[in-house]
A and B are shown apart, each in its own frame.
Chain A
């Protein structure tokens, strides 16, 4: 769907380790987003990008950083993973006709 792939699909990592999640799109859309989804909180925006090297913070950006060196790739990095960052992470693009989401990455921090 709209050529969005997220990797990995599942990951278990230890507290304190860095983790990078990848979002790849094939359709050259300018806007890309990272959300996390947690029970009781719904989807919350972490960071978004409006072009190569152009990024901004969302609602829950603490502990996360992002990079976008190419139009097609948007990376989310947890600098030092904590148990509170256990969540399902979704990437999305703004395709003009609305948002399209990737299949998600389930991250568990132990």
Chain B
């Protein structure tokens, strides 16, 4: 059974960098056929896809984040991470990590979500 678990600070100050890590069990993030994504949800934007890191290590991001998002991975720990710079109140959201399938672009496994609040 594939499981994902988000971890990271729940409170970030405006203009600082949000950092989250997703720990994966039951699958290898460097195995083929899947990509690993961050998705967030807030009342204003609904569900918003942030980006993904492919099993090869390639990354792709939501262009509306204007270059603020960076994803990386640690294959030895089977973890992937998100850094979102210059955060503001609009970045307050529940952040999910999820596994996406190559064939249909569907997200079949998700973490439970991590609430991040941007506040002084």
Q: Do A and B bind each other?
A: no
Q: Which residues of B are in contact with A by a Cβ distance under 8 Å? A: none
Q: Which residues of A are in contact with B by a Cβ distance under 8 Å? A: none
